[in-house]
Structure 1
């Protein structure tokens, strides 16, 4: 944290009220900042003083930050609240759709969006007067969808910045459970149709060779791996960001059944971002993944990237009975014959191969692109992936081996 000589305070400062409001912003951003910590912060500032900005920063951070992943959010909220009023205008311009296209002088850093949302909570742009006093219109809204229901079915690409933030919160609560697989290995059981000859013979040896009872066994349970291949080309940019936000929640929630989750991004090259998704803070995780994937919003070479995965990563991450999740629109710039060959190889090594395509949201969608026609025969399930509702449907269908989605209908059109 850089040193500053003095903090600019108003002529009649209300430091306690400012610290209390600052704590509310931290609480909205996800930190634990209750009334007890507010009192501790006021007393700490009174004891330490605030001759320099760095002392003030570290004093408040010592009180409000209890986990390493909270440091980035705290630093951004502190900078926005105590340092730079102009940045509030910058974040307003970035978050409000009315002025979304305004060019800004720099990109937002890690956790700045969460910090700005916490500080701007409840604020909205001034709307022009529509003349409500002159004209009154009554509308029957009894059959309209609720706001949350509308947001669930809304296309990711059509969302405003505020709707994207709400959709991300909904995605962070989604789960992707999977059923266990039956292993060839067995474990002891009192009943069951399967005979355990080894345990039976060992028990007989203890009785002098006399078999007193037949020992039974049941198959052990094992959990599959989830392997995700996510397209980050220009046409998939917005969908990829939302899906990766969902995958971060899956990777950091215990008890869903997956043995391991491996995530890869691809555009013109394949990038392994598995270790970044394990970071607890979602903003830091996706920012690190974006820095790792240098081909974000570039071209698409699905066949070449699948070839690299099959050659270099398949044996290391697939295991036995892995579920492969492919997120792409299928618009490939390579040869369709090579793409079909790599897709067939990937299907043979996976227990279940699922393709999420945001283009499936259109009612008149047809498999006309060569990349789609090359991929479609080798996937087990073909589903839409453009909204919160489509990802909820994926969670309900991922454990059903008989689920094919829209594949059967589209294969008839080939």
Structure 2
């Protein structure tokens, strides 16, 4: 452990006199950007700067990152903050040349943490003085109005603006998915359990010379079943897939045994990418892992590949499967009925979420929908926040079971 006195071994005067103040300001910037930086990290960073060459930018960067960052997913945000805060004094001299070089490069997407860092930097700027508040006037609104939250619940994802989509994502993060718990084959010790544990009773009797003084009891372990999501990311589903992946990310970070697969023309397992706590980092990793976003759709081939490679790994212990697709298959439903039937037989519940059900006059006319519909347990809409809340209620209902939809 680094002694606290080492943190004070900084030049009190001269050019290094502002180093402690700058380090404190840098720590505040990191904390506003979301990094867990406290007094311990600040003292450790100050002590590390006393052991490296202050004039060497690489050494300072390595020393501060080693002492102030504890998780690898925070490295990217730290590197960006370090590059902006500890700016090169000669950078302004070469600003014109850098702008010319940037103009010749292809436009690059900003890193996932850039927005949060920009918001944190805004906190350093002085805020303009607020105008004096005027006393509110007493007004009575006699018109029939609907709150913004109620309107957002019923609005279609496809019709939302960027601001409304951001508000919808915030609502989704607050959703809780308490899947109906199911009994497993495992038991745990419980003095009030309904079953007698003969093995533990016999083992305890050995301490008293074979005399049984008390009966050990146990109870069956109850836990929610695994949840598997198969989400269509083809061109017709791209708008809905973007917001539904936020829902799947929130679920994956709220409970265990959640597996997510995306498919268009091929199947991609993104379970590991969605386990990142930081939503922006998770979605950036998903974008890099998925090569067929907004492309064609091969539902039958994707489901057949899932049945062959993944069903035995993730569909055990009464798994619930969410199949999110509009059912529009470019292959003309070739092999789709067989793949859906096998998927339904491998899980406890197969729930098909289709955004086309938002239309009151919906009719299953396409070949893909007609092939899949007889082999699902439930057929539900998924086009707004209200439909997602209904889905959460359905999944947590212990009375829900297999309910074959009429073809």
Q: What is the TM-score of this pair, normalised by structure 1?
A: 0.68
- How many Å apart are 1:398 and its aligned residue? 0.6
Partner of 1:183: helix, strand, or coil? strand
Please report how far the alpha carbon of residue 337 of structure 1 lies from its aligned counterpart in structure 2 after TM superposition.
Answer: 5.3
Sort the Cα spacing of 1:119 and 1:231 in 2 relative to 1 into closer, same or farther, 3 A: farther
Distance in 2 of aligned mates of 1:79 and 1:152: 41
Give aligned pairs, total: 361
For the residue of structure 1 that corresponds to 2:183, the secondary structure is strand
Q: CA deviation at 1:318?
A: 0.9
Spell out the pairing of 1:215-364 with structure 2 (5 A cutoff).
Answer: 218-253=219-254, 256=255, 258=256, 260-336=257-333, 338-364=335-361
Any conservation in 1 of the 2:231–2:261 contact (CA below 8 Å)? Answer: yes
Gaps of 5+ in 2: 1-17, 96-105, 126-138
Contact residue 347 and residue 378 of structure 1 kept, 8 A:
yes
Structure 1 contact 382–405 (Cα < 8 Å) conserved:
no
Unaligned runs of 5+ in 1: 1-13, 87-103, 124-137
Does structure 1 residue 156 correspond to structure 2 residue 157?
yes
Write the distance in 1 (CA, Å) between the matches of 2:207 and 2:25.
74
Q: Deviations over 1:182-206 (max 9, x none)?
A: 2355566667776778889999999
Whole-angstrom distance in 2 between the partners of 1:140 and 1:313: 58
Q: Does the residue aligned with 1:108 lie in a helix, a strand or coil?
A: coil
CA distance in 2, matches of 1:143, 1:40: 60
2:78 aligned partner = 74
Query: What is the CA–CA distance in structure 1 between the aligned matches of 2:210 and 2:142, rounded to whole Å?
Result: 81
Structure 2 Cα separation of the partners of residues 42 and 209 of structure 1: 65
* TM-fit CA distance, 1:227: 1.1
Aligned equivalents of 1:108, 1:300: Cα separation in 2 = 29
User: Per-residue CA shift, 1:135-163, capped at 9, x if unaligned?
Assistant: xxx99387534334433433333333333
Match of 1:110 in 2: 112
Question: Matched residues in 2 for 1:33 and 1:210: separation?
Answer: 59
Mapped partners of 1:80, 1:147: distance in 2: 38
Match of 1:395 among 392, 396, 402: 392
Q: CA RMSD in A?
A: 4.7
Measure the CA separation in 1 of the matches of 2:142 and 2:51: 57
Distance in 1, matches of 2:21 and 2:216, equals: 72
Compute the displacement of 1:224 (Å). 1.6
Q: Do 1:227 and 1:323's aligned partners in 2 also have CA atoms closer than 8 Å?
A: yes
Note if contact 2:263-2:302 (Cα within 8 Å) is conserved in structure 1: yes
